Amino acid sequence: MVLICRSGDRSSRGANRLADDGYTQVWSVVDGFAGDMGKDGRRSVNGWKNAGLPWSYKLDRDRIYFPR
């Protein structure tokens, strides 16, 4: 299970909680989706989006996981 949030803080706490509850395959994206705040006051440092990794607002239903 991979968790991600805006900056990585909530997802890391969530991953810790899940691990405490016995889940063993849990990861958190360290710098989150948007990353840290830059000197310009915008989230322009590190993070998934700023690393140029793939993302989109469009959802492909064939690639979405639906838990049973």
pLDDT in tens, 26-62: 999 999 999 999 999 999 999 999 999 999 889 888 9
For domain 2-53, which CATH number applies: 3.40.50.80, 3.40.50.720, 3.40.250.10, 3.40.30.10?
Answer: 3.40.250.10
pTM of the model: 0.73
pLDDT of amino acid 67: 85
C-alpha to C-alpha distances, 63 to 15, 16, 29, nearest whole angstrom: 23, 27, 20
Whole-angstrom Cα distance, residue 38 to residue 44?
5
Residue boundaries of the structural domains of the chain: 2-53
pLDDT of amino acid 66: 86
